[in-house]
Amino acid sequence: MMLELNRKPLRSYLVAGLMAVVATTAVLPVQPVWAQNRTLPDFTDLVEQVGPSVVNIRTLEKVKASGTGSVDEQMLEFFRRFGIPVPPNMPRAPRPDRNSPDEDQPRGVGSGFILTTDGFVMTNAHVVDGADEVIVTLTDKREFKARIIGADKRSDVAVVKIEASGLPAVKIGDINRLKVGEWVMAIGSPFGLENTVTAGIVSAKQRDTGDYLPFIQTDVAINPGNSGGPLINMRGEVVGINSQIYSRSGGFQGISFSIPIDEAVRVSEQLRSTGKVTRGRIGVQIDQVTKEVAESIGLGKALGALVRGVESGAPAEKAGIEAGDIITRFDGKPIEKASDLPRMVGNVKPGTKAVVTVFRRGVAKDLSVIIAEVEPEKSARKASATEPKPPVAGPAQAMGLVVSELPDAQKKELKIKGGVKVDNAEGAAARAGLREGDVIVAIGNAEITSVKEFEAALAKADKSKAINVLLRRGEWAQYALIRPVR
């Protein structure tokens, strides 16, 4: 049998082999080109390129020696920054003694990066805040005493200067080219461990956290001590300053925030030239515009900043901006959300004339305003107590409202032409948020100057739909939607 098989023609074996190869090839999956070309990034070249530009920053403060009982400040950079309670087992450091001479004690540790070859270094304001002495250590282990040029707490950006030349400065990136999902890298000194490299991706841009600037959110591992270090893209450019983390435990939990480098550079230029930051203001208190309010007043899309109050004598008041207006554009630039307005205004030099577009009673208006300089916010004045006139009943009672004419004294105090005072709010009105003492100044896009106009506007309103009400509460304006009872 073996001899018979061996005598089988060679041609048969070749044909069978080719058929097997074809069959095997036919079942192999074909990968798309993008899947074949993409691999995990290699950060080694970036570390060599940018690493020498990143510095370690130590801060010292003068305290009295001897005694015990105070918490070690060097271990509390994170707790000070984010308001987390101090663990009861936190190690203790010496407590000052009034009769002992001053001595330098470690206060905190952070990071920074070289902005210019002649020794300007950028970091976070909270890293150097309250420091009596700042020590900058380069990657080659050289140490310099730094001079604080300026620090801006509002943006959390600071600039310090060391006396050196020929330093390796970083390259500044274009924040507009940064994309969500893009790989980024951080270099810093977490927990005092110098030249530590971590990497991740951009999780979100323009992230509002209640601060003045819109942050870059990443999942790059950032911990106490990373503050002030650079966020670097794959081109070796700095796109942000690592500033904050979200954490319930005190350590990294996958959410980090960085200051966009374009905003930081703008602040640093002012700090280097004048030592402080000057911002513009127009004197309004603002709030978000909800989708329901936008639809009910004919604005359509929920955008812009709702003016809840206007400061007396402020540029906004002089320009004719009123409480209840919705600012939709500033100097031709659209306001997508309320937080855009203070950033845009803040970047304008005081004394500059700007055009503000407001949406009022269904009509857009352009108003000219002279930008003023930021100053401490004034406290809102309380409306003086006045004796209301006898309430007037009518259609308003169907929605739980009892209103009366607004006294002239209160009109003058609120700086409004008219309106009606809410003497009682129940049912649908109460559910909408109205309460006694509120002043209704508009129904829909119809301005109200008296109870008669108020009743007429309600009579014309479609009772099957939510009725939009613009009201004043003291010096604050807001919208409320009174929904029909089903």
Catalytic (active-site) positions: 126, 156, 227
The answer to whether 344 touches 332, Cβ cutoff 8 Å, is no
Other CB atoms within a 10 A radius of the CB of residue 167 amount to: 19
Q: Would you call 17 helix, strand, or coil by DSSP? A: helix
CA nearest neighbour of 246 among 209, 202, 294: 209
Alpha-carbon gap, residue 481 to 13, rounded angstroms: 85
Q: Please provide residue 87's backbone torsions phi and psi, each rounded to the nearest 5 degrees.
A: -60, 145
Exposure string over 170-191, b if 16+ CB within 10 A, otherwise e: beebebeebeeeebbbbbbbbe
Alpha-carbon gap, residue 239 to 219, rounded angstroms: 15
- Within the chain, how many helices (H) and strands (E) appear? 13, 29
Say which amino acid occupies 223: N
Alpha-carbon gap, residue 242 to 225, rounded angstroms: 10
Other CB atoms within a 10 A radius of the CB of residue 69 amount to: 9
Alpha-carbon gap, residue 429 to 440, rounded angstroms: 12
Say which amino acid occupies 473: R
Alpha-carbon gap, residue 416 to 192, rounded angstroms: 58
> Residue 379: is it exposed, middle or buried by C-beta count within 10 angstroms (0-12/13-18/19+)?
exposed
The answer to whether 372 touches 354, Cβ cutoff 8 Å, is no
Label the pairing between strands 183-188 and 230-233: antiparallel
Question: Which ranges of 389-437 would DSSP assign to H, the alpha helix?
Answer: 408-414, 427-431
Q: Cite the beta strand spans of 284-419 per DSSP E.
A: 284-287, 305-310, 326-330, 333-334, 353-360, 363-370, 372-373, 401-405
Residues in the chain: 486
148: tokens are 């604080």
Alpha-carbon gap, residue 24 to 275, rounded angstroms: 72
What 8-state DSSP symbol labels residue 74? G
Alpha-carbon gap, residue 392 to 396, rounded angstroms: 9
The answer to whether 369 touches 351, Cβ cutoff 8 Å, is no
324: tokens are 């209840």
Alpha-carbon gap, residue 464 to 350, rounded angstroms: 48
